[in-house]
Chains A and B, each alone.
Chain A
Amino acid sequence: RKEVEQDPGPFNVPEGATVAFNCTYSNSASQSFFWYRQDCRKEPKLLMSVYSSGNEDGRFTAQLNRASQYISLLIRDSKLSDSATYLCVVNRGGGNKLTFGTGTQLKVEL
């Protein structure tokens, strides 16, 4: 089983839609969690950290469910510029190593 698993998509949604991605992780000792965004042929960029109580940043909401070992990202009112690959990232055991999922591709259409 992969350490971090995501549905690769693509998710094709109309502009203005709400879309949600889930990610599961296998190691219950994982301590911190992130969502990164990667545009085509660009580097990954930190979108948001995921906190235990859930957190929101504008149109983006991240949730963590430790019991079920999954993380979610909700995007409201999708924009064309949200089209990208969203990478679920897990830090296991508090060291410096981040483990990346393979990403979920989002395409927002007119």
Chain B
Amino acid sequence: DTAVSQTPKYLVTQMGNDKSIKCEQNLGHDTMYWYKQDSKKFLKIMFSYNNKELIINETVPNRFSPKSPDKAHLNLHINSLELGDSAVYFCASSPRDTVIRDGYTFGSGTRLTVV
């Protein structure tokens, strides 16, 4: 069973379109995250939710809107896609109280290409 699963794995779309990426975890974790890894391989946090509540919201354009319907799911919707949004987007999860000991578990990533 996949612990953190993301869909789709690959997404190619035109500039200006709106797209969503879905993430689900079956680890029973309370906290979920979205990270962006750019072409230089730098992993940067975008958002974090703890049990459906937004707790981290980094400086991200408001075209990006996360949604957490329950603590096992965290989706990312992107409006008006731009070329610079091309990257790999990773979902991750962690237990709320033991992240400093156990770190995160990542999904396999969604490779977004905007053309």
Contact = CB atoms under 8 A, between A and B. Distances in A.
A99 B41 CA distance: 13
Secondary structure call for the A interface:
strand
B12 interface: no
Contact of A91 (B35, B41, B100): B100
Q: Give the interface residue-count category, chain B.
A: 20 to 34
A97 B55 CA distance: 10
Q: Give the interface residue-count category, chain A.
A: 20 to 34
Interface of B: 31, 33, 35, 40-45, 48, 50, 55-56, 90, 94, 96, 99-109
Contacts, number: 55
A49 interface: yes
A85 to B, nearest CB: 7
Given A100-B43, A102-B41, A94 B103 contact: no
Given A44-B106, A96-B56, A87 B43 contact: yes
A20 interface: no
11 contacts: A43-B90, A46-B102, A87-B43, A91-B99, A91-B100, A94-B100, A96-B33, A96-B50, A97-B45, A100-B43, A102-B40
